[in-house]
Amino acid sequence: MQLGLIKALYTDKLATLYSYSEAENLFYIALQWLEKKSRTAVLLGQETLLVDTYQVILEDLLLGKPIQYLTKEAPFYGLDFYVDERVLIPRPETEQLVHWVIEDNQNFAGAALDIGTGSGCIPITLSHHWKGAKVSGCDISEDALEVAYQNAETLGVNVELFRCDILTEEINKYDIIISNPPYIAPSEKGEMHINVLNNEPHLALFVGGDDPLIFYKKIIEKVRIHRSKCYFETSEFYRKQLDAWLETQNLRYHWQCDFQGKNRLLRVTF
Protein backbone atom coordinates (compact mmCIF):
# COMPACT_ATOMS: atom_id res chain seq x y z
CA MET A 1 0.00 0.00 0.00
CA GLN A 2 1.20 3.53 -0.72
CA LEU A 3 2.34 5.55 2.26
CA GLY A 4 0.14 8.41 1.08
CA LEU A 5 -2.96 6.26 1.54
CA ILE A 6 -1.92 5.36 5.08
CA LYS A 7 -1.33 9.04 5.82
CA ALA A 8 -4.84 9.82 4.54
CA LEU A 9 -6.25 7.06 6.77
CA TYR A 10 -4.48 8.53 9.83
CA THR A 11 -5.68 12.09 9.23
CA ASP A 12 -9.23 10.92 8.57
CA LYS A 13 -9.59 8.57 11.54
CA LEU A 14 -7.81 10.84 14.04
CA ALA A 15 -9.91 13.90 13.14
CA THR A 16 -12.15 13.25 16.16
CA LEU A 17 -9.22 13.67 18.57
CA TYR A 18 -6.74 15.95 16.84
CA SER A 19 -6.47 18.76 14.31
CA TYR A 20 -5.36 17.84 10.79
CA SER A 21 -1.80 19.04 11.38
CA GLU A 22 -1.52 17.10 14.66
CA ALA A 23 -2.87 13.92 13.03
CA GLU A 24 -0.49 14.38 10.11
CA ASN A 25 2.43 14.80 12.49
CA LEU A 26 1.48 11.60 14.32
CA PHE A 27 1.66 9.72 11.03
CA TYR A 28 5.11 11.14 10.26
CA ILE A 29 6.37 10.15 13.72
CA ALA A 30 5.14 6.60 13.07
CA LEU A 31 6.77 6.66 9.62
CA GLN A 32 10.13 7.73 11.03
CA TRP A 33 9.97 5.20 13.85
CA LEU A 34 8.91 2.22 11.74
CA GLU A 35 10.83 2.81 8.54
CA LYS A 36 13.31 5.65 9.18
CA LYS A 37 11.68 7.60 6.36
CA SER A 38 10.62 11.23 6.01
CA ARG A 39 7.90 13.18 4.20
CA THR A 40 9.85 12.71 0.97
CA ALA A 41 8.87 9.03 0.90
CA VAL A 42 5.20 10.04 0.81
CA LEU A 43 5.78 12.66 -1.88
CA LEU A 44 7.58 10.07 -4.01
CA GLY A 45 4.64 7.66 -3.74
CA GLN A 46 6.63 4.95 -1.97
CA GLU A 47 4.88 1.85 -0.66
CA THR A 48 5.12 -0.11 2.57
CA LEU A 49 4.79 -3.72 3.65
CA LEU A 50 3.99 -2.70 7.25
CA VAL A 51 0.32 -1.93 6.76
CA ASP A 52 -0.77 -4.09 9.70
CA THR A 53 1.74 -2.41 12.03
CA TYR A 54 0.54 1.05 11.01
CA GLN A 55 -3.00 -0.13 11.72
CA VAL A 56 -2.10 -1.35 15.22
CA ILE A 57 -0.49 2.00 16.02
CA LEU A 58 -3.53 3.84 14.67
CA GLU A 59 -5.86 1.81 16.87
CA ASP A 60 -3.83 2.74 19.97
CA LEU A 61 -3.83 6.40 18.93
CA LEU A 62 -7.61 6.28 18.58
CA LEU A 63 -7.75 5.17 22.21
CA GLY A 64 -5.95 8.38 23.11
CA LYS A 65 -2.52 6.86 23.79
CA PRO A 66 0.34 9.33 23.16
CA ILE A 67 2.55 8.12 20.33
CA GLN A 68 5.65 8.68 22.45
CA TYR A 69 4.45 5.89 24.75
CA LEU A 70 4.12 3.64 21.71
CA THR A 71 7.55 4.43 20.25
CA LYS A 72 9.09 4.67 23.76
CA GLU A 73 11.07 7.73 22.76
CA ALA A 74 10.79 11.51 22.79
CA PRO A 75 13.23 14.06 21.35
CA PHE A 76 14.31 16.84 23.70
CA TYR A 77 16.81 19.60 22.99
CA GLY A 78 18.69 17.50 20.44
CA LEU A 79 18.70 14.29 22.49
CA ASP A 80 16.44 11.23 22.32
CA PHE A 81 14.97 10.17 25.66
CA TYR A 82 13.30 6.91 26.59
CA VAL A 83 9.79 7.50 27.95
CA ASP A 84 6.93 5.33 29.09
CA GLU A 85 3.81 5.65 31.24
CA ARG A 86 5.90 6.19 34.38
CA VAL A 87 6.94 9.71 33.32
CA LEU A 88 5.53 12.79 31.63
CA ILE A 89 6.33 13.27 27.97
CA PRO A 90 8.81 16.17 27.61
CA ARG A 91 7.17 19.25 26.10
CA PRO A 92 8.52 22.04 23.85
CA GLU A 93 7.83 24.54 26.66
CA THR A 94 10.23 22.62 28.89
CA GLU A 95 12.86 22.76 26.13
CA GLN A 96 12.39 26.52 26.13
CA LEU A 97 12.85 26.60 29.91
CA VAL A 98 16.10 24.65 29.57
CA HIS A 99 17.27 26.97 26.80
CA TRP A 100 16.62 29.99 29.03
CA VAL A 101 18.56 28.43 31.90
CA ILE A 102 21.53 27.67 29.62
CA GLU A 103 21.55 31.11 27.99
CA ASP A 104 21.17 32.81 31.38
CA ASN A 105 24.04 30.85 32.96
CA GLN A 106 26.68 30.24 30.31
CA ASN A 107 29.82 28.39 31.44
CA PHE A 108 28.08 27.53 34.70
CA ALA A 109 30.28 25.43 36.98
CA GLY A 110 28.27 25.29 40.20
CA ALA A 111 25.59 22.94 41.51
CA ALA A 112 22.09 22.70 40.02
CA LEU A 113 19.05 20.62 40.96
CA ASP A 114 15.97 19.73 38.93
CA ILE A 115 13.02 19.05 41.25
CA GLY A 116 10.45 16.60 39.87
CA THR A 117 12.85 15.31 37.25
CA GLY A 118 10.66 12.62 35.67
CA SER A 119 12.52 11.22 32.64
CA GLY A 120 15.62 13.19 33.63
CA CYS A 121 15.44 15.29 30.47
CA ILE A 122 16.30 18.56 32.26
CA PRO A 123 19.40 17.57 34.29
CA ILE A 124 20.74 15.29 31.56
CA THR A 125 20.44 18.05 28.96
CA LEU A 126 22.03 20.59 31.28
CA SER A 127 24.93 18.21 31.97
CA HIS A 128 25.60 18.01 28.24
CA HIS A 129 26.00 21.77 28.13
CA TRP A 130 27.61 22.47 31.51
CA LYS A 131 30.70 20.27 31.47
CA GLY A 132 32.05 21.69 34.71
CA ALA A 133 28.82 21.69 36.70
CA LYS A 134 27.37 19.24 39.19
CA VAL A 135 23.81 18.61 38.03
CA SER A 136 21.27 16.58 40.01
CA GLY A 137 17.64 15.56 39.72
CA CYS A 138 15.13 14.40 42.31
CA ASP A 139 11.62 12.98 42.20
CA ILE A 140 9.13 11.52 44.64
CA SER A 141 8.46 8.63 42.24
CA GLU A 142 10.82 5.65 42.31
CA ASP A 143 9.34 4.58 38.96
CA ALA A 144 10.25 7.91 37.39
CA LEU A 145 13.77 7.69 38.80
CA GLU A 146 14.23 4.30 37.14
CA VAL A 147 13.49 5.94 33.78
CA ALA A 148 15.84 8.83 34.56
CA TYR A 149 18.64 6.40 35.52
CA GLN A 150 18.12 4.55 32.24
CA ASN A 151 18.34 7.76 30.23
CA ALA A 152 21.44 8.95 32.07
CA GLU A 153 23.18 5.65 31.38
CA THR A 154 22.10 5.47 27.74
CA LEU A 155 23.12 9.06 27.03
CA GLY A 156 26.39 8.74 28.90
CA VAL A 157 25.81 11.50 31.42
CA ASN A 158 26.87 11.53 35.05
CA VAL A 159 24.04 13.08 37.04
CA GLU A 160 23.07 12.49 40.65
CA LEU A 161 19.50 11.22 40.95
CA PHE A 162 17.70 10.73 44.25
CA ARG A 163 14.24 10.37 45.75
CA CYS A 164 12.81 13.38 47.57
CA ASP A 165 9.38 14.58 48.63
CA ILE A 166 9.94 18.30 48.30
CA LEU A 167 6.80 19.10 50.28
CA THR A 168 8.11 17.42 53.43
CA GLU A 169 11.90 17.04 53.06
CA GLU A 170 14.76 19.52 53.07
CA ILE A 171 17.40 19.74 50.34
CA ASN A 172 21.06 20.71 50.29
CA LYS A 173 22.42 23.97 48.92
CA TYR A 174 22.30 24.44 45.14
CA ASP A 175 23.18 27.50 43.12
CA ILE A 176 20.37 26.91 40.63
CA ILE A 177 17.00 25.21 41.08
CA ILE A 178 14.87 24.18 38.10
CA SER A 179 11.40 22.70 38.37
CA ASN A 180 8.32 21.87 36.33
CA PRO A 181 6.22 20.73 39.30
CA PRO A 182 2.59 19.60 39.43
CA TYR A 183 0.33 22.65 39.14
CA ILE A 184 -3.02 21.36 37.87
CA ALA A 185 -5.93 21.43 40.32
CA PRO A 186 -8.21 18.35 40.34
CA SER A 187 -11.09 20.61 39.25
CA GLU A 188 -9.32 21.20 35.91
CA LYS A 189 -9.44 17.55 34.81
CA GLY A 190 -12.48 18.15 32.61
CA GLU A 191 -10.51 20.64 30.49
CA MET A 192 -7.63 18.29 29.72
CA HIS A 193 -7.04 16.31 26.54
CA ILE A 194 -7.96 12.65 26.92
CA ASN A 195 -4.52 11.41 25.83
CA VAL A 196 -2.93 13.29 28.75
CA LEU A 197 -5.59 12.60 31.38
CA ASN A 198 -5.90 8.87 30.67
CA ASN A 199 -2.23 8.05 30.11
CA GLU A 200 0.29 10.35 31.76
CA PRO A 201 1.11 9.96 35.49
CA HIS A 202 -1.27 11.96 37.66
CA LEU A 203 1.36 12.27 40.39
CA ALA A 204 3.36 14.52 38.05
CA LEU A 205 0.34 16.52 36.89
CA PHE A 206 -1.99 17.23 39.80
CA VAL A 207 -1.50 18.92 43.15
CA GLY A 208 -2.88 16.95 46.05
CA GLY A 209 -4.81 19.77 47.73
CA ASP A 210 -6.60 22.97 46.86
CA ASP A 211 -3.55 25.20 46.35
CA PRO A 212 -2.12 24.85 42.81
CA LEU A 213 0.86 26.99 43.86
CA ILE A 214 1.93 24.78 46.76
CA PHE A 215 5.03 23.38 45.05
CA TYR A 216 6.31 26.81 44.01
CA LYS A 217 5.83 28.17 47.51
CA LYS A 218 7.47 25.19 49.21
CA ILE A 219 10.46 25.13 46.87
CA ILE A 220 11.09 28.85 47.22
CA GLU A 221 10.72 28.71 50.99
CA LYS A 222 13.19 25.80 51.26
CA VAL A 223 15.91 27.30 49.03
CA ARG A 224 15.58 30.89 50.24
CA ILE A 225 18.23 30.39 52.90
CA HIS A 226 20.68 29.37 50.15
CA ARG A 227 19.67 32.24 47.85
CA SER A 228 19.37 29.83 44.93
CA LYS A 229 18.34 31.17 41.54
CA CYS A 230 15.07 29.43 40.62
CA TYR A 231 13.56 28.67 37.23
CA PHE A 232 10.02 27.31 36.93
CA GLU A 233 7.56 26.17 34.32
CA THR A 234 4.06 27.21 35.33
CA SER A 235 0.49 27.63 34.13
CA GLU A 236 -0.43 30.95 32.54
CA PHE A 237 -3.66 30.86 34.57
CA TYR A 238 -1.81 31.40 37.84
CA ARG A 239 0.36 34.39 37.00
CA LYS A 240 -1.67 36.89 39.03
CA GLN A 241 -1.72 34.61 42.07
CA LEU A 242 2.00 33.92 41.81
CA ASP A 243 2.79 37.60 41.33
CA ALA A 244 0.78 38.48 44.43
CA TRP A 245 2.52 35.84 46.56
CA LEU A 246 5.99 36.73 45.26
CA GLU A 247 5.33 40.38 46.08
CA THR A 248 4.45 39.49 49.67
CA GLN A 249 7.79 37.66 49.91
CA ASN A 250 9.75 40.66 48.57
CA LEU A 251 11.28 38.53 45.83
CA ARG A 252 12.67 39.59 42.48
CA TYR A 253 11.12 37.76 39.57
CA HIS A 254 10.89 37.83 35.80
CA TRP A 255 8.42 36.18 33.42
CA GLN A 256 9.22 34.90 29.95
CA CYS A 257 6.55 33.88 27.43
CA ASP A 258 6.54 30.46 25.82
CA PHE A 259 6.26 29.80 22.08
CA GLN A 260 2.55 30.56 22.20
CA GLY A 261 3.01 33.90 23.92
CA LYS A 262 1.77 32.59 27.27
CA ASN A 263 3.33 33.49 30.63
CA ARG A 264 4.66 30.03 31.44
CA LEU A 265 8.33 30.52 32.38
CA LEU A 266 9.39 32.18 35.63
CA ARG A 267 12.73 33.13 37.16
CA VAL A 268 12.93 34.00 40.86
CA THR A 269 15.96 35.47 42.62
CA PHE A 270 16.64 36.56 46.20
Structural domain boundaries of the chain? 3-63, 73-269
List, in sequence order, the alpha helices (H) in 36-160: 39-43, 51-62, 67-71, 92-104, 121-129, 142-154
Q: List, for residues 30-69, the tens digit of each pLDDT value.
A: 999 999 999 999 999 999 999 999 999 999 999 989 999 9
**pLDDT tens digits for 190-218?**
555 666 656 666 666 667 767 889 999 99
Strands (E), the chain: 73-76, 79-82, 111-115, 134-139, 160-163, 176-179, 229-233, 252-257, 263-269
pTM of the model: 0.89
Task: Name the CATH architecture for the domain at 73-269.
Answer: 3-Layer(aba) Sandwich (3.40)
